[in-house]
């Protein structure tokens, strides 16, 4: 292990590798430590193995934080176009899937290979399988004690991510270290996570497990239009993951299925045109058949369209497009894609990510209280905050 360097980065994930690359490009000697056996494990599994590495529409509005202005500076100085230029420079083919989300054509491993190649070019030294046992402030900067010996540097960048997916090595390391140095840590909770339902409701929707439909999910004034997925545990799919970051225990969310279609008008027209059809058949023209049947049965509606008063049709339509559900909880950090909350941005300089009270100490990526929507925003924050720190160490 190299004993002395200008910069030590703890965490060889998206943010840490980007910081190492930028610092190395500026001529800094960089040592990067990670307890895992491989770097960028979350990149590897991201985007279903294709890594949704950025979002071309990424902007401050796509991030949650106690201070929504904090992310602006870093996001402005390393943009999706900057990351795309890096990807293009390595000849990695990509495509836009939907809503500005960019994915690798082939494999997320291409992104990891790219970052490792860039680190090699600038001479950043990576130590994997390295447990960190302590960090202390010394006169010349910081001393990090590890299972492979001690190392020292004038700057220390902490990029150990959040608590999501502990099975993959996620730890609360960054939060503990922040507290050790007197930085405030805001309450953390799982984000971009499936929501669970209580056993009674779950039993009634059990036959729907596996069914997906376009939906709008609302929580207060926040709404997302993407796919909704019924699962064996409750509700999932991109629309639910998105709203989960806004949802709090005890709150309701309002589900509108096929929000682009006026279901009430559709039912009334169908009644006029062909009253002998069943409501299941009419709804089944728009929705998956099993879902249509469930929704009709849930409203205890029977008979043909001609038999149904308009009031019943409106009730049925409301069941489809104004369904208030109170989730019992979330699947937690076990499956959450991100951790909300974390190191209070008030303690950090938004241009450099440096702790205001501890010169030379930087926090970047997911451990900071900046959390993106689903769709490539979280990696964009990792790249941008990593770049910001790498630019200033
Ligand atoms: P990250 O977690 O990537 O890296 C932290 C590193 O620190 C790891 O290498 C870890 O081993 C190391 N570490 C942790 N504790 C340590 C300790 N005590 N000692 C030493 N090392 C330690 N985002 C997105 O924009 N597009 C996408 O497609 C996806 N897809 C996705 C899928 C799944 C299943 C998950 C769980 C998450 C996503 N995300 C995503 C979110 C994205 O993965 C996440 O926001 C970034 O990886 C965060 O990058 P960081 O570098 O901050 O942490």
Query: Which of 19, 52, 160, 368 to mutate to test ligand 1, by most ligand atoms within 8 A of the CB atom?
Result: 160
pLDDT at residue 353 tops 70? yes
Cβ(386) to ligand 1 under 6 A? no
Average pLDDT over every residue of 209-232: 97
Cβ(132) to ligand 1 under 6 A? yes
Cβ(338) to ligand 1 under 6 A? yes
Q: How far apart are CA 34 and CA 38, in angstroms?
A: 8
Ligand 1 centroid vs 384 CA: distance in angstroms? 14
Cβ(126) to ligand 1 under 6 A? no
Ligand 1 centroid vs 13 CA: distance in angstroms? 6
| pLDDT digit string, tens, across residues 284-332 | 999 999 999 999 999 999 999 999 999 999 999 999 999 999 999 999 9
Cβ atoms of residues 363 and 180 within 8 Å: no
Cβ(378) to ligand 1 under 6 A? yes
Average pLDDT over every residue of 187-198: 98
Q: How far apart are CA 356 and CA 360, in angstroms?
A: 9
Ligand 1 centroid vs 14 CA: distance in angstroms? 7
Give whole-number Cα distances, 304 to 54, 267, 276, 292, 307, in Å: 49, 12, 5, 14, 5
Q: Which atom of ligand 1 lies at the shortest distance from residue 50's CA?
A: 28
pLDDT at 72: 98
Domain pair 4-190+338-391 / 195-330, same fold: no
pLDDT at 215: 98
Q: How far apart are CA 308 and CA 132, in angstroms?
A: 68
Cβ(54) to ligand 1 under 6 A? no
Q: How far apart are CA 371 and CA 364, in angstroms?
A: 12
pLDDT at 336: 97
**Homologous superfamily in CATH for domain 195-330:** Translation factors (2.40.30.10)
CA angle 43, 45, 49 (to 5 degrees): 100
Average pLDDT over every residue of 103-109: 98
pLDDT at residue 1 tops 80? no
Average pLDDT over every residue of 163-167: 91
DSSP 221-290: TEEEEEEEEE-SSEEESHHHHHHHTT--TT--EEEEESTTS-HHHHHHHHHHH-TTS-HHHHHHTTS-HH
- For 100, what's the count of Cα atoms within 13 Å in the CB-facing half-sphere? 15
Give whole-number Cα distances, 387 to 16, 29, 75, 223, 370, in Å: 9, 16, 10, 31, 15
Average pLDDT over every residue of 40-67: 98
Q: How far apart are CA 197 and CA 219, in angstroms?
A: 16
What sign does the dihedral 188-169-352-374 (CA atoms) show?
A: negative
Nearest CA to 160 among 144, 148, 141?
144
Cβ(13) to ligand 1 under 6 A? yes
Check residue 124 and report its DSSP letter: P
pLDDT at 381: 98
pLDDT at residue 2 tops 70? no
Q: How far apart are CA 345 and CA 184, in angstroms?
A: 9
Instruction: Supply 289's token pair.
Output: 């058949």
Instruction: Supply 326's token pair.
Output: 């109170």
pLDDT band with cut points at 50, 70 and 90 for residue 123: very high
**Domain boundaries 4-190+338-391, corresponding CATH code:** 3.50.50.60
Write down the pTM of the prediction: 0.97
Quote ipTM for the complex: 0.99
Instruction: Could you list the beta-strand ranges (E) of 83-182.
Output: 94-96, 101-104, 125-127, 132-138, 141-146, 149-158
Average pLDDT over every residue of 257-271: 97
Query: Which of 13, 128, 191, 390 to mutate to test ligand 1, by most ligand atoms within 8 A of the CB atom?
Result: 13
Place of tokens 């899937």: 97
β-partners of residue 6 are none
Q: Which residues are CB-neighbours of 262 under 8 A, at least 6 positions away?
A: none
Cβ(376) to ligand 1 under 6 A? yes
Q: How high is the mean pLDDT of the chain? A: 97
Place of tokens 């951790």: 339
Buried b vs exposed e over 44-80: b needs ≥16 C-beta within 10 Å? bebbeebbbbbbeebeeebbbbeeeebbebbbeebbb
Q: Where are the domains of the chain?
A: 4-190+338-391, 195-330
Cβ(161) to ligand 1 under 6 A? yes
pLDDT at 335: 96
């Amino acid at each position: 292990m190299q004993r002395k360097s200008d910069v030590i980065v703890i965490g060889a994930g998206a943010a840490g590798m980007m910081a190492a690359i930028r610092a190395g490009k500026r001529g800094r000697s960089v040592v990067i430590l990670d307890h895992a056996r491989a770097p960028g494990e979350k990149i590897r599994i991201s985007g279903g193995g294709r890594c949704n590495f950025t979002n071309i529409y990424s902007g401050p509005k796509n991030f949650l934080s106690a201070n929504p202005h904090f992310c602006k500076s870093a996001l402005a100085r390393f943009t999706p176009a900057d990351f795309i230029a890096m990807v293009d420079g390595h000849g990695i083919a990509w495509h836009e899937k939907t809503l500005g989300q960019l994915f690798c054509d082939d494999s997320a491993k291409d992104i990891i290979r790219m970052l490792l190649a860039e680190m090699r070019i600038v001479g950043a030294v990576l130590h994997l399988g390295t447990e960190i046992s302590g960090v202390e402030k010394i006169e010349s900067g910081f001393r990090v004690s590890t299972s492979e010996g001690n190392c020292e540097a004038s700057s220390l960048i902490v990029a150990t991510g959040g608590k999501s997916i502990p099975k993959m090595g996620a730890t609360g390391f960054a939060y503990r270290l922040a507290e050790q140095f007197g930085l405030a840590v805001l309450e953390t909770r799982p984000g971009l996570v499936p929501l669970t339902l209580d056993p009674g409701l779950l039993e009634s929707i059990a036959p729907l497990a596996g069914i997906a439909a376009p939906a709008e999910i609302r929580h207060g004034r926040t709404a997302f239009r993407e796919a909704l997925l019924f699962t064996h545990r409750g509700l999932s799919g991109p629309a639910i993951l998105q709203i989960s970051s806004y949802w709090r225990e005890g709150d309701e969310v309002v589900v509108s299925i096929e929000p682009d279609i006026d279901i009430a008008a559709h039912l009334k027209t169908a009644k006029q045109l062909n009253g002998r059809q069943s409501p299941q058949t009419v709804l089944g023209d728009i929705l998956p058949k099993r879902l249509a049947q469930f929704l009709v049965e849930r409203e205890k509606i029977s008979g043909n369209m001609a038999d149904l008063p308009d009031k019943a049709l409106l009730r049925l339509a409301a069941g489809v497009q104004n369904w208030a559900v109170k989730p019992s909880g979330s699947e937690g950090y076990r499956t959450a894609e991100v951790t909300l909350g974390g190191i209070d941005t008030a303690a950090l300089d938004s241009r450099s990510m440096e702790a205001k009270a501890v010169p030379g100490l930087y926090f970047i990526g997911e451990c900071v209280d900046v959390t993106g929507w689903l769709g490539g925003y979280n990696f964009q924050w990792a790249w941008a905050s990593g770049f910001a720190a790498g630019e200033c160490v």
